Structure 1
Amino acid sequence: MDWFEDQATSAMAFAEVLGNDIDRAVTERSEVLLRRACRVLECSGPVRWTVKEATYRTAVRLPALHPALFRGLLTSFHDLYGDLEPAAALALLGQLELPAHTRHLAELRHVLVAGHKNHYGSVGAWDDAVRSCA
């Protein structure tokens, strides 16, 4: 979703495709809204943290969105334009109900605990996490 990578359009695009509707998605739980919420959360990595944090905090209330929210947090760390705040992301990660064997869960927790905001701003941090979590 290129419009999430462009800082001039990402806030409006995110609000229009999910941010304005996240409360409805969580309360109504319609299949259509949940499918859209999952897809947008998965692709939301490049959206500025200040734009997506409230949506993430709302999404965490619905366990059906937890896998997509995890992928959103993961892409927030790995995407070239990814954006997250480590402490807030770690708090959200701690609220997710995910299988213990979720791929990259331990590594993401490791880099967030260490305070890393982005893979490209902390070269080597992910590799260290992989070694430490092996």
Structure 2
Amino acid sequence: MDAQAMEDARRWLAEDGVTQVGDDEWTDGETSDGRLTANEVAHAWAGHVFTDERLDVAGRLRLAFGLLDVLDDYWVTCEIRFADRGPGAPLPPEVLWEGYRRRLEAEQVAEAVTYSLWADWFEDRNTSAIAFAEVLGNDIGQLRTDASDGLLLRVGRVLECSGPVSWPTKEETYGIAARLPALHPTLFKGLLSSYHDIHGDLESDAALALLAELDLPAGTEHLTELRTVLVAGHKKHYRNRRAWEEALRTRP
């Protein structure tokens, strides 16, 4: 989270009479029952950030990230994406992706951040490769020399939601992550989602080789089943659902 961005966002909302009065309670001084949820505030005000003529485009984007920190609501990320894909597109990429990277390295990441990566940026083939590169791929080499706590948090969080990213885009990154045992559990989740996500993507032989490198706790859920379907050459759950069902039935 960005303390300054949060302060700016609260001040911006207050200018319109919107203030927080509880954990998930807000008021605008006009609503009939006097109370709004963070989601309602996000739907009503987040889009207006990008029409505030007092700010330049970068300033609007930073303010939007401040709203995301304050409201912790997925809809704010939707408005950011709409602005990036809309008439005034694109948003300044250095501000956009630094905003994501910074929040992915926070001790407590907003679920809205990882969900938006997975459901919006990674599932869209028009944005998947650049989004993956910006939030992880471009920096993965630092794991060899600078495995800081923040970077490890970011890598793990991106790996977990990277299922929809095309295999050629993420294969090298997966391979580098496999060299750090601390990342093995999240890399396994990435492989699992690459198989199960409706937009997931993997190559069975390459994924099986990576799986063999992972040092995972005994009894890791679905490890045996994933290995079974990959050995059989399956690439995607939705192309042959029976393969997974059979792997479950025949599990030792």
TM-score (norm 2): 0.52
% identity of equivalent residues: 64
Q: Is the 8 A contact 1:25 1:37 kept in 2?
A: no
1:22 paired residue number: 140
Alignment of structure 1 residues 9-88 onto 2, 5 Å: 9-88=127-206
What is the aligned length?
134
The separation in 2 between residues aligned to 1:38 and 1:97, in whole angstroms, is 15
Residue aligned with 1:83, SS: coil
Amino acid at match of 2:138: N
Amino acid at match of 1:121: R
1:95 aligns with 2:213: yes
Structure 1 gaps, min length 5: none
* Runs of 4+ with >2 A deviation: none
Higher RCO, Cα 8 Å, sep 6+:
1
User: Deviation of residue 66 (structure 1)?
Assistant: 0.4
Please tell me the root mean square deviation across aligned C-alpha atoms, in Å: 0.9
Computing the radius of gyration from Cα coordinates, the structure with the larger value is 2
Instruction: Say which is worse superposed, 39-48 or 123-132, in terms of deviation.
Output: 123-132
Structure 2 gaps, min length 5: 1-117
The separation in 1 between residues aligned to 2:204 and 2:227, in whole angstroms, is 9
Gap change, CA 1:26 and 1:65, over 3 Å in 2: farther
Amino acid at match of 2:221: R
Write the deviation string for residues 58-116 of structure 1: whole angstroms up to 9, x where unpaired: 10011111001000000000000000000000000000010121010000000000000
TM-score (norm 1): 0.97
